[in-house]
Amino acid sequence: MSQHLRADSQGKMIVFGGKEIRRVIGEHRSPSAKHILEADLLRAGGALSLLGLELGPYLGQGYDCATSQFQFGKWPIYPCPVEIKKRSQGFTYQVTRYTKLPRATVLCMKHDLVNPPEHIDFVELPTLGAYLSAQ
């Protein structure tokens, strides 16, 4: 019985997380959000933590959230810096400036970086929101 309750509770948390992510997406798509800052994506941080991505503090230099970590289910914690971008093409700065980039994840509203490095992962919030609404 307790396993069922936990599974039901986890399902509700994922549904809630998806709604919160879609709320942030909707506000970013609003015509009045033309000058919204990339750091505003951090409002999805609570929802992302329910899904297994805990964002570290936003530093605004180096990698924005350098001490972030992923943990899915019972898998071990995987530390991985996260860069916050409205559009992933903004990550070109890091690609061209630093010859040896560590494995990292880019959290963005639009993934439009052409030929991204193989060791850089991307989380496009609208795609994640759409996936979660289909579940």
Which of 52, 45, 94, 48 lies closest to 72 in space, CA to CA?
52
- Confidence band, pLDDT 50/70/90 cuts, at residue 98: low
Q: What is the mean pLDDT of residues 121-126?
A: 94
- The pTM is what? 0.85
Query: Per the structure, how many domains does the chain have?
Result: 1
Q: What are φ and ψ of residue 19, in 5° steps? A: -65, -40
Q: What is the pLDDT of the chain when averaged over all its residues?
A: 86
Which three-class secondary structure state does DSSP give residue 85? strand
- For 13-41, the pLDDT digits (tens) are 888 889 999 999 999 888 887 788 888 99
User: What is the pLDDT at residue 99?
Assistant: 65
Where b means 16+ CB within 10 Å and e means fewer, 43-81 reads ebbebbebbebbbbeeeeeebbbbebbbeeeeeeeeebb
User: What is the pLDDT at residue 4?
Assistant: 41
User: What is the pLDDT at residue 1?
Assistant: 35
Residue 22: give the domain boundaries: 2-134
